[in-house]
Chains A and B, each alone.
Chain A
Amino acid sequence: MQFTIEVGRYNPEGVYADDAQPGLPFPPPWDKSPVRRYQTYTVDLPEHAVVLDALIAIREYLDPSLAVRCACRSAICGSCGMWINGHANLACKSKLAAFSQGGKTRVESPPSMPLIRDLVCDMKPFWDKHLAVRPWLENKQPTPPADREYRVPNASMEELIQEVSCISCGVCLMDCESFAVDQDFLGPQALAQAYRYAGDPRDDKTKERLGQYSGPGGIWDCTHCFECVQQCPKGVAPLDQILKLRKMAVDAGFTHNPGTRHADAFAESVKHSGRLNELTLMPKSTGLFNIVGQLKTLPSAINMARAGKLPPLIHKSIPGVERIRKIFQRVGGRFK
């Protein structure tokens, strides 16, 4: 079967084949990423071939100058994360036939990562974030003797299977919306690993970890867009793990942040009226005594009021709101 592949090429020397077409600059926030030259190759491969098969065929038989990073070819090593038709995926796990659009598949290095050459991006931001969450156990003492295992209940480890499945391919970070605008955000992979250790019953530093993860660049800076859940090739669902960390952090008392204030104000409003009171939500989330924060939101509030877009000043409850209050009481927990 014939497949056409458009490969985004880049090299610092600026040497390209004559038929490589210059592409367009990436949209913001990636407008600083180098503009690629797109070189088109046609390869003959079986119908079940994956994108990586095509790239290896190109490198072996058509163009040895193509730089591509790969090793296991089996979605285990995590080396071949790249953009395929504008989304991060593992090239070894992506069937060409499924990705081919109008007979073509476009493959390139993701513009959210620094570019080294062709399909090889620099993974330094990824590893820096990974290390920043201290992805190792700090054992509770006393540890068992050297010839014995550190035994924990089976169920507590089953809870961590999803996070342990991470192969550090970086696909989630490459498509992370928060990371795209905020390089300081720890990102989905690092935070999923953060949960893997914070949630481990053997770890002694849970509280310190939760304090660190609640700070700037941490769990509250995720924009909840589900890109990481959608793109992760191993089902780690990083966003789900970030949400678990948020709950752990709040339960551990790390509540002096807009995230917790937002959740509390949200719950308060739904409990009392059955619905959201937008008029009080923003000021309460920002913090009633956070004067600088309040002033920052003021121009938008004025713009919206002028346009007639302020919520009604008298917030009405839904009919039968007692029912909702009863549900809150019955379930209990933080919002009771």
Chain B
Amino acid sequence: MKVAFYPGCVSKGACPELYVSARLIAEPLGLELHELVSAPCTGAGVLSEQNRELADALNGLTLAMAEAEGADLMTICSTCQGVLSDHNFHLKNDEARREKANATIADQGYSYGGTATVKHLLWMLFEDIGIERVTASIKRKLTGLKIAPFYGCYILRPSEALGLRERPERKTYLNQLIALLGAEPVEYRGATKCCGFPMLTFNRDKALAMGGNHIIEAKEKGADLLVTPCPLCHLNLDGQQPDAARVLKQDIDVPIFHLPQLLGLAFGFEPDELRLNHHVVSTKGALEKVELKV
């Protein structure tokens, strides 16, 4: 299946393990990735906050590029998903906004017709690729692992632009997937809460406490690891975890996996190929439970 692949800045920056693992799992899933290499950053909500017209034009350009590819746009980042969904929702439904964005990008040879579909890999697994194909690709069941899903905010809220009103089952995909891969999903409150990353630079200690609290809750419920569809959550939960432990005066030490890394493990790829040896919090203990080493 052909998709217009939008990897997002972080997967090419501070989370290269996300990009590498997403590329690896594409083949077993039958995904033909047409990367939108000339598409700009979504602005992550930061640009739209100060200059909505600018963010409409930038995201309108990306959506027009996906339209030109004639394929659904696939994200691997919840923040990209949230921002693109929001702009797509408004550019589809508000003709004046769409016309304005199109007027800005017209001389670049692009025009957005309002027909693009933006989908996170997590949604595509269930809605396009199908769980039969996912199941058929499993070569290594993750039996024995207790995995806490960490959805984060932008793949869940606001529910209208994300299409969750029509498809409420999207709120349960991570849990379903964990079970499908043979592991046990951990039920905990933090699963749908904020990781704290958006206020890391503004209110550092509170942002660290926010993320750290969720990991501690999952750990107390027996989680061996957390899995997230968002690399920004990963930056706060993995990258900042030692600092969060310092702020909360508590040992944490729970590895955080990207969604494609977890899929990759189940599809038989080696931990090193998935760059599971390039995390701040060691993945060793969790991998030993499925008899793997990094």
Contact = CB atoms under 8 A, between A and B. Distances in A.
Interface of A: 27-29, 86, 177-178, 180-182, 220-227, 229-230, 243, 246-247, 250, 257-259, 262-263, 266-267, 269-270, 274-279, 282, 285-286, 296-297, 299-300, 303-304, 306-312, 318-320, 323-324, 326-328, 330-331, 333-335
Contact of B203 (A182, A267, A306, A309): A182
Contacts of B172: none
Nearest to B282: A307
B189 A258 contact: no
Given A226-B153, A258-B201, A270-B41, A263 B49 contact: yes
A288 to B, nearest CB: 13
B143 to A, nearest CB: 26
24 contacts: A28-B216, A181-B209, A225-B193, A227-B157, A227-B194, A230-B157, A246-B49, A257-B202, A258-B201, A266-B44, A267-B47, A270-B40, A274-B41, A275-B9, A300-B242, A303-B242, A309-B16, A311-B13, A319-B37, A323-B61, A327-B54, A327-B105, A333-B50, A333-B53
A335 B58 CA distance: 13
Interface string B193-235: 1101011011110110110010011001000000000000000
Contacts of A277: 13
Contacts of A328: 54
A335 B47 contact: yes
A327 B40 CA distance: 11
Given A223-B207, A275-B12, A306-B280, 18 more contacts: A29-B209, A223-B194, A225-B193, A262-B46, A262-B201, A262-B202, A263-B49, A267-B50, A278-B14, A299-B243, A307-B278, A309-B15, A309-B278, A319-B37, A324-B40, A330-B104, A333-B51, A334-B51
A274 to B, nearest CB: 5
B14 A303 contact: no
A335 B239 contact: no
A304 B14 contact: yes
A215 B229 CA distance: 33
B158 A229 contact: yes
A309 B279 CA distance: 7
A266 B14 contact: no
Contact of B204 (A27, A266, A267, A296): A296
B111 to A, nearest CB: 14
B104 A221 contact: no
Contacts of A308: 16, 275, 278
A277 B9 CA distance: 8
A327 B280 contact: no
A27 B190 contact: yes
B213 A275 contact: no
Contact of B40 (A222, A275, A306): A275
Nearest to A262: B201
A318 B14 contact: no
A94 B12 CA distance: 44
Interface string B18-43: 00000000000000000001111101
B137 interface: no
Contacts of A247: 49-50
A81 B53 CA distance: 37
Contact of A224 (B15, B153, B190, B206): B153
Interface string B138-167: 000000000000000110011100000000
A86 to B, nearest CB: 6
A286 B201 contact: yes
Contacts of A246: 49-50
A324 B47 CA distance: 13
Given A263-B46, A270-B43, A286-B201, A86 B207 contact: no
A318 B194 contact: no
B75 to A, nearest CB: 15
Contact of B104 (A223, A279, A331): A331
A116 B124 CA distance: 47
Contacts of B9: 275-276, 278
B86 to A, nearest CB: 10
Contacts of B38: 274, 318-320, 323
Nearest to A270: B41
